[in-house]
Amino acid sequence: MNRRNVFFAVSLLLLIIFSLNSTAANAAPSELFGTSLIADIAEKVSPAVVAIESVQYVRARRRAGSGDPFLDQFFGHLFDDDFMGHNNVIPKRGNGSGVLISPDGHLLTNEHVIADADEIQVKLNNGKSFKATIIGKDTLTDLAVLKIEADNALPHIPIGDSSTMRVGEWVIAIGNPFGLGMTVTTGVISAINRDLSVDRNRSYKDLIQTDASINPGNSGGALINSRGELIGINTAIIPYGQGIGFAIPVNRAKRIVGDLMAYGKVKKAFLGVTVQRITPDLAKYFEIPEEGVLITDVAKDSSAEKARLAPGDVILEIDGKKIRNPSDFQEGIDDHRVGDKVSIKIFRKGKEGVAEVEFRENPAAKNPLGVAVSKITGELVRKYDLYVDEGCVITSVISGSAAERAGLRPGDVIHQANRTVTLDEKAFEAAMAQMAKEGRAVLRIIRGQTVNLLLVNAQ
């Protein structure tokens, strides 16, 4: 290749490189350029991200003994730590993060960060520490609201709109990993609407997945967008997947926080219907749409019954949101709070119509078991094919409740709870009050022709 050709090739290569750089600069968002943007955002919002230390006092009984087997058999208890003056209470400590969401000291964190805690200390990034009280917590969504008392207004993070976030957008994670102090990491949103099962009792839906580093202790920390707004609460990592973390979208957290601050618990909206997926065969046979969910049962005295929904109706939309399957249906319900009034589009006998519904609280949420029951009647005997005519039959079970974890289901008959015979709703309520006080109950369950005793812990 002669010198002229070499010069031409180099010039062409430089032109291509310049063109690509110019195109990238024009196409890329401005936040990628300028090294101070992340630092500016972190400096602005970090004062509202706190470190949380939880302490649980675990009693460790130790038998010292006298050294004489005969004496120990009768008087060994006198040599227990309690009587020897030793401290047999061991503090079990845990670390996490939290986000101040109001100037009066309300903060948001994960439920698992403060679960079973006897004491909670919150430390601001200026070094000040405060004792925190629990306003409310929800195991199902892994969220908790705490409160600290300060003399002055506290910094807090503005709330963003997580529904507008797109895959590939830059995010910033701020938290207290490994209890080392506030740490800032950056990355992008890798995916949205992720479902994650942590263990047998914990599964989460509609999470934000990010590659911003999230480590133990980051739980409860803030996921921030490029405008410095809170768009998620960091909640989980996959230990075997490097660079994969998850956050609860702030839009979902807002509804939960509203309930926790108002009631100390989450009041789940309840429509009062049982639905199923519509298969092509069902759609063809009943001449109904394939998209939507088919109502198979309507609970007595429910919002659905009041709105005159009936088995055979197809739910197409909830408040303008299309319902394609049972998962969409449940999400449509979970997006609302008790007391919300919504329009539900239904398909009935070849025509579309709209039903106006006001959501109520699920009656099953009013007891520690998480079930709704009814005194057995002839109608319920036929409906559930019961072999007994005395007791309270379960008519619904709340998702994630103590009853669901214990394997209970509609049609099971609760005949006895903690030695209290439950022949009607009043007796059942009395037994549930006792269960709430003691934290557990032994239930006598009749399923079909089988009778079992079941020990259930309160939710």
Least Cα distance to 392 among 436, 360, 432 occurs for 432
Nearest to 357 by CA among 415, 411, 428, 295: 295
Rg (the chain; Cα; Å): 28
Contact 216, 237 (CB under 8 A): yes
Q: DSSP of 99-149, one letter per residue?
A: EE-STTSEEEE-HHHHTT-SEEEEE-TTS-EEE-EEEEEETTTTEEEEE--
Question: Is 193 strand, coil or helix?
Answer: strand
Report the catalytic residues: 112, 142, 219
CA angle, residues 375, 381, 386, in degrees to nearest 5: 105
Query: Longest C-alpha distance within the chain, in Å?
Result: 107
Token code pair at residue 42 = 């972190």
**Taking a C-beta distance cutoff of 8 angstroms, is the pair 107, 145 a contact?**
yes
Cα 327 to Cα 245: distance, rounded to the nearest angstrom: 23
| Class of residue 310 by CB neighbours under 10 A (exposed 0-12, middle 13-18, buried 19+) | middle
The tokens describing 431, both together, are: 């037994």
351 pairs with which residues across the strands?
348
Q: What single-letter DSSP state applies at residue 256?
A: H
- Alpha carbons 156 and 145: distance in angstroms, whole number: 14
CB atoms inside a 10 Å sphere around CB 281:
8
The residues near 30 (Cβ < 8 Å, ≥ 6 apart) are none
**Distance between CA atoms of residues 107 and 105, nearest Å:** 6
Tokens encoding 238 = 């996959």
Q: Whole-angstrom Cα distance, residue 398 to residue 379?
A: 23
Q: Would you put residue 361 in left (φ > 0), alpha (ψ -120 to 50) or beta? A: beta
Which amino acid does the sequence have at 456? V
